[in-house]
Amino acid sequence: MQQRRVGGTGLQVSRLGLGTMTWGRDTDEHEARESLIAFAEAGGTLIDTAAGYTDGESERLVGRLIGDVASRDEIVLATKAGVSRRSGERVVNTSRGHLLASLDASLQRLGVDHVDLWQVHTWSSQAPLEETLAALDRAVSSGRTSYVGISNYTGWQTARAATWQEAGPGRTPLASTQVEYSLLNRSIEREVLPAALAMGLGVFPWSPLGRGVLTGKYRGGTPVDSRGASPTFAGFVGAYLDESSARVVEAVARAAEGLGWTPLEVALVWVRDRPGVTAPIVGARTAAQLRGSLGLEDKTLPTELVRALDDVSQRSA
């Protein structure tokens, strides 16, 4: 799999990343193991997790598999801090103390002494930005991470954070930002993507398949074994089960039919090859689903199809 540099840094990652949000809940250890084997065999290197995924179980499972299934030296390990669950409620805390304590807990769960990329999971106005970013500097200076990034920041938040990190001695420039981006949600093209390009940040799109909707599996209804049928993710998926999204899904399906591809391949290649994108994060629930995303290396969308998909998805831009 082709490797790409992350923004203006020397860090290189595979141009598809493996997301692990469901590991330890919807994805058991057997499926996780098979997924990681398939990903590594395809040349994938970037594994993305977070302290807040499945109450830390995702990190624990990743930690058990690294070194067993794939060599630590061949993996680019990324995690996040700042979001957790308490009594079922989402809790955001980006204070310096909480972030650093969360990183230490992540390292323990992962069974490593450092991660390659540590990201602030979301913006919060409850802590000063300078305090949040100081935690990133401390994490690098203490050897607990090699690179740092942000996630789910707006355009102005991205520019402010990146500018601050470049403004003084002892600060570590941001390497990346992780944001939702797909044919069903192109909103980052207005401000976030221009800010990332201007500030030299790599972009990791999450949910590049429109929360699974772009695969076409919801065209005839909601499959009982899908995320859309899960109480945990029904609302998350349902946001894209409207008429506007359906038109985009049909256009993707027609393009796939004409190319002899799957809708998944069309949607994923489209976002993978957008300007500024480093690596879409593919969060397959099963190894079989993941394998459908790993045969894209030699695929490129014809220019006329890119234009057509751009036109039909313009409302999401």
The residues annotated with a catalytic role in the active site are 53
- Tokens at residue 305, please? 């199809």
Distance of alpha carbon 157 from alpha carbon 7, whole angstroms: 17
CA 134 from chain center: how many Å?
23
The string of DSSP codes covering 284-299 is: -SSHHHHHTTSS-TT-
Contacts with 136 (C-beta within 8 Å, 6 or more apart), sequence order: 118, 120, 148, 165, 172, 174
Distances from the Cα of 137 to the Cα of 80, 104, 133, angstroms: 15, 15, 7
Sequence letter at residue 313: S
Interior angle at CA 123, CA 119 and CA 125, nearest 5 = 140
Q: How many CB atoms lie within 10 A of CB 79?
A: 29
The phi-psi region of residue 180 (left if phi > 0; otherwise alpha if psi is between -120 and 50; otherwise beta) is beta
Helix (H) or strand (E) holding 7: none
- Tokens at residue 309, please? 């998909």
| Neighbouring-strand partners of residue 76 | 46
Q: How many CB atoms lie within 10 A of CB 256?
A: 18
Helix (H) or strand (E) holding 172: none
Buried b / exposed e along 150-175 (16+ C-beta atoms within 10 A) = bbbbbbebbbbbbebbeeeeebbbbb
